[in-house]
Amino acid sequence: MSHDTLPRPAKLREPSPPSGRTSRARRPWTRRANPVAGLGSLIWLVVVLVPIYAMLSASLTRQDQLLEGNPLKPPPDPTLDNYNTVLDSGFGHLLANTAIVAAAVVGLVLALSVPLAYVAVRTRNRWSGAAFRLFLLGVAIPAQAVVVPLYLLIAELGLYDTLPAVILPTAAFAMPVSVLVLTGTLRDISEELYEAMALDGASSLRMLFQLVIPLAKGGISTVVIYSALQAWNGFLFPLIFTQSDGPRVLTLGLFNYVSQFGVNVPALLASVVLSGIPIFAVYLVARRALVSGLMGVGGK
């Protein structure tokens, strides 16, 4: 038998995968439609946007035209006179006072809450745990329950009708939540990193500034936004602890458009729009850090 007539070996067939696995492996990944979630998101979007639209529309409407027709209808004759009225009535002074209060509150909260959270995480004894739990009781105490003792204390210290009278209690009531957020963030830092720095001879203060603060930027950003919002939107403490126009802030400035005989609603809403722009811009810049920090993953 010649070489040309030799039988060729049969081609081996690869074993076929079990039925149904091939189609699932080759099927491209697709998202499943969720009409319920889409409908819920649409409803929530409408709930959020309609009041904002109504506020902007009313702020561009003349006062004598405010109650005419449909409130959701665009203003027939838009005007910026309401915004000019707000800017000419001392809005810059109110904005500066509010910015000072917010910056001071943020500085105090960060200067105190970061070391407190660091001690609560790194100190392992029952006294630090008990102090931490006692400190967090402030979350359950409303400001209205202690406003009279605070008033007497501030009057005794000679701080009544000053900006520190607003700054100090606002920072104090922002501290418990801030410490809680930062404690959860610092617990996400690996223990091996602390041990490595300890082997290098690092002190606790060096660990705080070179390890903890750089790795806790998410939680710190959350605390900054939270405390700034508390100071910017605060109304009770400025109302009780201030009286004159000198330390007045934006929330109290809204009373400028309320008289004995009526309310200038368009100017009032224009003031609300202008006062909300700065803090809304801060929120847009750091909203991801805020959400991640509140979810307890800010340190990663």
61-103: per-residue pLDDT in tens?
Answer: 888 887 776 778 888 888 898 899 899 888 999 999 999 999 9
pLDDT attached to residue 107: 95
Least confident of 8-22, 68-82, 121-135, 219-233: 8-22
pLDDT attached to residue 297: 42
Q: Is the pLDDT of residue 231 over 90?
A: yes
Q: Is the pLDDT of residue 212 over 70?
A: yes
Residue 69 or 265, more confident: 265
pLDDT-derived band at 294, boundaries 50, 70, 90: low
Measured at the CA of 113, the angle between CA 112 and CA 115, to 5 degrees, comes to 75
Q: Distances from the Cα of 48 to the Cαs of 41, 42, 125, 196, in angstroms?
A: 11, 10, 47, 49
Inter-residue contact 187 to 121 (CB < 8 Å): yes
Q: Is 16 helix (H, G, I), strand (E, B) or coil?
A: coil
pLDDT attached to residue 102: 94
pLDDT attached to residue 199: 86
Residue 215 or 16, more confident: 215
Query: Quick count: other Cβ atoms within 10 Å of Cβ 231?
Result: 28
Least confident of 64-68, 165-169, 244-248, 288-292: 288-292
Q: Is the pLDDT of residue 108 over 90?
A: yes
What is the chain's mean pLDDT, rounded? 82
- Rounded CA-CA distance 110/104 in Å is 10
Q: What global pTM score does this model have?
A: 0.78
The segment with the largest mean pLDDT, out of 16-20, 211-215, 236-240, 278-282, is: 236-240
pLDDT-derived band at 16, boundaries 50, 70, 90: low
pLDDT attached to residue 293: 59
Of 257, 255, 277, 253, nearest to 267 by C-alpha is 257
Inter-residue contact 116 to 135 (CB < 8 Å): yes
End-to-end CA gap in the chain: 75
Share of the chain above pLDDT 90, in %: 25
Residue whose structure tokens are 């969720």: 34
Q: Residue 154, exposed/middle/buried by CB under 10 A (0-12, 13-18, 19+)?
A: buried
Q: Is the pLDDT of residue 241 over 90?
A: yes
pLDDT attached to residue 292: 64
pLDDT-derived band at 258, boundaries 50, 70, 90: confident
Q: What is the pLDDT of residues 31-51, one digit of tens each?
A: 677 888 888 889 998 898 998
Inter-residue contact 258 to 233 (CB < 8 Å): no
pLDDT attached to residue 295: 60
